[in-house]
Chains A and B, each alone.
Chain A
Amino acid sequence: MLNALDKQMLEKVADLHEIPQGAFNIRKNGVGVQRNTTANIDIVTKKDKSGIDVIIKPYTKGESVHIPVIVTEENINDVVYNTFEIGEYSDVEIIAGCGIHNCGTHTSQHDGIHTFYVRKGAKVKYVEKHYGQGDGKGQRILNPKTIIEAEEGSYTELELIQIKGIDRTIRDTEIRLMGNAKLVVTERLLTYQDQEAQSTINVELLGVDSSAQIISRSVAQDNSKQDFYFDLIGRNKGRGHIQCDAIIMHNAQVHSTPKISAYHSEAQLVHEAAIGRIESEQLIKLMSMGFSEKEAEDTILDGFLK
């Protein structure tokens, strides 16, 4: 059912070398092709629109759900709505990757709208990797929208990675945190050639002692363009920290607009943004250890985007 190309894409997108353990749902070219559920994790196809409901029972510990999406043909426009119900006091990992292989001349696009309900005391790590390949002129477009309602005492970790591959992406992330809910977002982005990427992250600290930490690191090369919008809103006693660092090279453009708004006297919000070239001292240090300038540059960028 899965051919060699499918397997290669799954490996790139979700580090899958074989059929994953535990619950999973593989979507290919707009259709679900393989699924497995477990006693604690159920996956149900939505009836009203395209997509799935992933239901994780309360107190589920140490399980993972893989929901990779691969697009291997041109001229695909796939819109999917996925809802995740992460039961109270569970501790799970959700690996959602999306890969587009396009050797044609027409665009291949996948728009995924993911809504998460992280229930009281639950812990979830959500990894979303975007990958694209193919030597056709057809564009590869991914527009993910992520909405997270984090309840009391929950812990949500998001890892969002996109290195090359995708021509255009408009990423929208919206998170609301209740009392004692914690959020950690790590975003890694590299664009090159004529690629364009836009990422908007809105976080609302609604509950007492909620906290959010957002670290965004990106590299913009060639003629690519990156736009970042961060909006951190403190409506209660809580802490938020946004750090965005970009390395700009060649003729690229990077626009970073971190915004913090406090509506409560005990909201503590910090934003730090920096855009710059690779520091020459770093290059010189590595060259003085025997690296060529190119090797030094690659080492610095690899570490930066790790």
Chain B
Amino acid sequence: MLEIQGVTLETEGAKGVEILKNINLKFYDKKIYVITGPNGGGKSSLAKILMGIYNPTSGKILLNEQDITQTSITERARMGIGYAFQSPPRFKGIKVKDLLKMAAAHNPEKLNTCDLLYNVGLCAQDYLERDVDASLSGGEMKRIEIATVLARNLKIAVFDEPEAGIDLWSFQKLAETFKNIHLKYDTTIVIISHQERIMQLADEIILMSNGTISAQSERDVILAGILKNENCLCSTNCEKGVGQNAECVG
């Protein structure tokens, strides 16, 4: 179980901006969580805190009751936490097959790198020898990124907007793949997403906006709420949605 206790994240400097405000969350084993909400709400920042890329200003992170708040990225990775970047970095001189081999290196199960690529909708023959560099499109990079996380046997796998850049046809395959990791390994999956079809996979949906959790409940409850809700999730008081005939003034 991964627990987040009272985590706050503030930017440095005199006018520190509070990105995350007193977040308390429990992620139980083998469940799928989807974190959703408006852009700028703190979702990616929370994901980076889980991986250790950002350190919280205050609060604790506990993995199976062990305090890992000060643990490095490398250590957390070795403990079984994985993260698929929203914008994966490109390299020079590293091929897709090299990256996948590095990712799968500590997985006791012998994985077939071709299968890994198939599960993210890429043909192994076309991609294994490609460089993970500027020659790959955004969507291709995204899928390879997801494959590097799927290659590992993880306790917690965090996917930051995995759907961005994936075409409609591959999307179905991706959604199936998420469902399958869940069945195959005992991984707790945390997905940041705006896609209803990904939310359909969730056991629990967490709504984040403005650095706080505005709602957290089982999937069906939240989904029903989002679809029915006419109120905007952002905090700004604006005229939109108030009246059908609202006019611009000035």
A residues adjacent to B (C-beta < 8 A): 217, 245, 279, 281-282, 284-293, 299-300, 302-306
Contacts and interface: CB of A to CB of B under 8 A. Distances in A.
A288 B89 contact: no
Contact of A293 (B74, B76, B78, B85): B74
B73 interface: yes
A287 B74 contact: yes
A281 B89 CA distance: 6
Q: Considering the complex of A and B, which 5 residue pairs feature the smallest CB-CB distances, nearest first?
A: A303-B93, A281-B89, A303-B94, A290-B77, A287-B73
Nearest to A302: B93
A112 B148 CA distance: 46
A72 B94 CA distance: 35
B181 to A, nearest CB: 17
A61 B98 CA distance: 33
Contact of B93 (A286, A289, A304): A304
B89 A285 contact: yes
B73 A288 contact: yes
B77 A287 contact: yes
B74 A306 contact: no
Contacts of A281: 85, 89
B106 A284 contact: no
Contact of B91 (A245, A282, A290, A292): A282
B233 interface: no
B53 interface: yes
Interface in B64-104: 72-74, 76-78, 82-83, 85, 88-89, 91-94, 98, 102-103
A245 B92 contact: yes
Nearest to B104: A289
A305 B93 contact: yes
Given A289-B102, A289-B152, A290-B78, A284 B92 contact: no
Contacts of B92: 217, 245, 303-304
B76 to A, nearest CB: 8
Contact of A299 (B76, B94, B103): B94
Interface in B204-233: none
B51 interface: yes
Contacts of B73: 284, 287-288
Given A284-B53, A299-B102, A303-B98, A289 B91 contact: no
Contacts of A217: 92-93
Give the interface centre of B83, B91, B103 by most chain A CB atoms within 10 Å: B91
A305 B92 CA distance: 9
Contacts of A303: 91-94, 98
26 contacts: A217-B92, A281-B89, A285-B88, A287-B73, A287-B74, A288-B51, A288-B73, A288-B76, A288-B82, A288-B83, A289-B77, A289-B82, A289-B102, A289-B103, A290-B74, A290-B77, A290-B106, A291-B74, A291-B77, A291-B102, A300-B94, A302-B93, A303-B93, A304-B92, A304-B93, A305-B93
